Amino acid sequence: MKSIAILILVLSIEFVVYLIFFRPYLLNWGATPGERAMAMQGDKYAETISCTRAVEITRPAAEVWPYVAALGADRRGFYSYEFLERPLGYGTAKIPDLKNIDMPVGRLIPYTKPDAEGNFHDGFKIIESEQGKYFVLQVWGEFRLTETTEGNTRLLVRTHWPNKQGILHRLWTAVFDAGHYIMERRMMLGMKDAAESTGKYDSAAADFFWFLCIVLSGLAGLSLAFISPGYFKLLSPFFFLVIWQFFLLVANPRPIAGALILLIAASFVYANRFLR
């Protein structure tokens, strides 16, 4: 019971660390101050602006747009973690011609499998768009492409959120923000990888390895509250889980990062042999 109580205390402190240090970062991931402050077409549909995120793609906007417009379970999926998307029906569809792909107002971007007749029912509806530049998804927010003076493209995603009050809602929002960020960051990096490699990049194996390392290292971090002696029952999991949050939320989700955090976790566990 003592170890469980310590683990609960550690997790509570970690949540405070997340709120103070990591959440502000993930809400503005990749976006410049100017991009966060700029007015966007979709702002008028939002009760509140949850976050603005951005990534730079080394291709002109005309070449990036087809990959962004291929969003949806009926096209190329959501460019995120395929091993999580496929069971939900987000799988990549085969699109013969990306050059003429469009995003008309009223189109449904589905996020579930089609019915027996091949029709999609659940998804995000496009409520405003301009071909080659931006589109606004009901409930989600705005996707926008802007070209830099160097000829590269900035992909911006501004997320909308209902304006609700209450401590429970705020706590739930904070937790949701982390999960949404992890998936949306991978989606944006997936669009970047696809556009820069003209659709040839396949991240399935790399993503699974990173995710597996994150899960295993996280479990190892939690176990420190049970296997560490004395005050280290509190200190060891606390310090490790701060590092773990950094690798989960700040470091790019690449295999090298996953391998490194797993190695650090193993080092913390092994160090307990010398603390007894």
Residue 65 has pLDDT above 90, yes or no: yes
Task: Provide mean pLDDT across the span 257-265.
Answer: 98
Question: Please, which pLDDT band fits residue 62 given cuts at 50, 70 and 90?
Answer: very high
Q: Which residue has the higher pLDDT, 98 or 221?
A: 221
pLDDT tens readout for residues 138-177: 999 999 999 998 999 999 999 998 877 778 888 888 999 9
What pLDDT sits at residue 90?
63
Q: How far apart are CA 232 and CA 16, in angstroms?
A: 20
Between the alpha carbon of residue 182 and those of residues 23, 66, 81, 107, the distances in Å are: 12, 23, 10, 26
Q: Which CATH architecture has domain 31-169+188-201?
A: 2-Layer Sandwich (3.30)
pLDDT at position 261, please?
98
Q: Are 64 and 191 in contact (CB under 8 A)?
A: yes
pLDDT of res. 276:
62
Interval 179-207 mean pLDDT: 89
Q: Nearest-CA neighbor of 250 among 30, 99, 33?
A: 30
Q: What secondary structure does DSSP assign to 142-162, as a single string?
A: EEEEEE-TTS-EEEEEEEEE-
pLDDT of amino acid 203: 81
Q: Is the pLDDT of residue 210 over 80?
A: yes
User: Which has more pLDDT, 167 or 179?
Assistant: 179
Separation CA 82–CA 208 (nearest Å): 8
C-alpha 217, offset from chain centre = 19
Q: How far apart are CA 50 and CA 195, in angstroms?
A: 26
Question: Angle at CA 235, nearest 5°, toward 233 and 241?
Answer: 100
pLDDT at 114: 78
How much is the average pLDDT of 209-222? 97
pLDDT of residue 16: 96
Nearest to 189 by CA among 255, 254, 99: 254
253: nearest Cα among 139, 113, 84: 84
pLDDT (tens digit per residue) in 88-100? 656 655 565 677 7
Report pLDDT for 88. Answer: 64
- Please state the φ and ψ torsions of residue 77, each to the nearest 5 degrees: 80, -150
* pLDDT of the residue at 91: 60
More confident residue, 72 or 53: 53
Pairing of strands 108-110, 123-130: antiparallel
Domain ranges in the chain?
A: 2-22+207-274, 31-169+188-201
* pLDDT on residue 170: 84
List pLDDT tens digits, range 20-37. Answer: 999 999 999 999 999 999
Separation CA 229–CA 219 (nearest Å): 18
pLDDT band at 115 (very low <50, low <70, confident <90, very high): confident
**In 103-203, which ranges are continuous DSSP H helix?**
167-196
Tokens (6 digits) for 121 = 């029912």
Record the pTM.
0.91
For all residues of the chain together, what is the average pLDDT? Answer: 90
